[in-house]
């Protein structure tokens, strides 16, 4: 399905591959180095993202999931060389806390599926990563170095990726403009604040979220951190306290 993905260019060797036909509007990022390419997230896996990747690089491709949720790692099946965080290896090995029926219902929700696509054939990817990541690790793709930041809160092994030389921060589901999800049993609101504390002090020039609008500025990192600090001060930073709206973003606790 040629129109499933939308391609945008950040710079000469960095591209965005988006899935705007699904309500989550997932963004994946292809970083091309001199030796290999790094694909940050692989989308839902409904269509083959590698068909787009091979148009944008002639280097070997390593895929990495910001976290092991279906809308970020569905396409890992197309990349034998992939990385994941140590805290979510069990989710790649049959222990994800939702049923396949629950996952399928969210895959098709508010989604213009490709003609003839059978959601009953959708599978939650399972596999063993070629490298297990932890906080502070460096991914060197030749002429570009990307640092792993373990940023739990949305999920136990959630990672952001920091390219210091360019000031690029790829935030996954930690930061985006819309409703942040921190209400699942596998989320941790207090860890979410600690992760925002970590990224808010970085000299970020550009923020690249995993969902929705790409019109997002680094100042949102400080605003989100401050809002979470205030929720903590008011005794509201816990599951079940509600949804809090801050204009261009919200958080569901």
Q: Please indicate, yes or no, if residue 135 is contained in any of the structural domains.
A: yes
Entry field: residues in the chain = 253
Q: Please indicate, yes or no, if residue 187 is contained in any of the structural domains.
A: no
**Buried (b) or exposed (e) across 169-191, using 16+ Cβ within 10 A?**
bbbbbbbbbebbbbbeeebbbeb
Q: Please indicate, yes or no, if residue 76 is contained in any of the structural domains.
A: yes
Predicted TM-score (pTM) of the model is 0.97
Which stretches of 118-217 are DSSP H helices?
A: 189-200
| H or E, element range at 102 | helix 100-108
In Å, how far are 50, 71, 101, 105, 120 from 47, measured between CA atoms?
9, 12, 20, 17, 15
Q: Which two tokens stand for residue 137?
A: 């690790």
Residues 141/29, Cβ–Cβ less than 8 Å: no
| H or E, element range at 29 | strand 26-32
Structural domain harbouring 78? 6-174+203-215
pLDDT of residue 109: 83
Query: Tens of pLDDT along the chain (253 residues)?
Result: 568 999 999 999 999 999 999 999 999 999 999 999 999 999 999 999 999 999 999 999 999 999 999 999 999 999 999 999 999 999 999 999 999 999 999 988 888 889 888 999 899 999 999 999 999 999 999 999 999 999 999 999 999 999 999 999 999 999 999 999 999 999 999 999 999 999 999 999 999 999 999 999 999 999 999 999 999 999 999 999 999 999 999 999 9
Q: Please indicate, yes or no, if residue 111 is contained in any of the structural domains.
A: yes
Q: Please indicate, yes or no, if residue 244 is contained in any of the structural domains.
A: no
Q: Please indicate, yes or no, if residue 249 is contained in any of the structural domains.
A: no
**CATH code where residue 15 lies:** 3.60.15.10
CB under 8 Å to 168, separation ≥6 — which residues?
A: 10, 14, 162, 204, 205, 206, 208
In Å, how far are 102, 109, 237 from 40, measured between CA atoms?
25, 24, 29
């Amino acid at each position: 399905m040629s129109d499933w993905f939308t391609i945008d260019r950040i710079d000469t060797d960095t591209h965005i591959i988006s899935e705007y036909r699904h309500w989550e509007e997932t963004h994946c990022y292809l970083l091309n180095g001199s030796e290999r390419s790094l694909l940050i997230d692989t989308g839902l896996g409904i269509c083959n993202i590698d068909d787009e990747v091979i148009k944008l690089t002639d280097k070997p491709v390593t895929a990495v999931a910001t976290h092991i949720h279906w809308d970020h790692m569905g396409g890992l099946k197309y990349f034998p060389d992939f990385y994941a965080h140590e805290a979510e290896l069990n989710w790649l090995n049959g222990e994800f806390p939702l049923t396949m029926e629950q996952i399928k219902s969210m895959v098709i929700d508010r989604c213009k599926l490709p003609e003839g696509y059978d959601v009953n054939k959708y599978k939650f990817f399972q596999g063993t990563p070629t490298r297990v990541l932890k906080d502070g690790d460096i991914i060197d793709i030749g002429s570009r170095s990307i640092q792993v930041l373990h940023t739990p809160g949305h999920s136990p092994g959630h990672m952001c990726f920091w390219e210091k030389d360019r000031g690029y921060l790829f935030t996954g589901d930690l930061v985006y403009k819309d409703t942040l999800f921190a209400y699942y049993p596998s989320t941790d609101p207090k860890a979410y604040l600690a992760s925002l504390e970590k990224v808010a002090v970085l000299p970020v020039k550009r923020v690249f979220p995993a969902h929705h609008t790409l019109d997002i500025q680094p100042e949102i990192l400080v605003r989100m951190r401050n809002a979470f600090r205030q929720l903590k001060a008011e005794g509201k930073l816990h599951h079940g306290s509600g949804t809090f709206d801050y204009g261009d973003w919200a958080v569901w606790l």
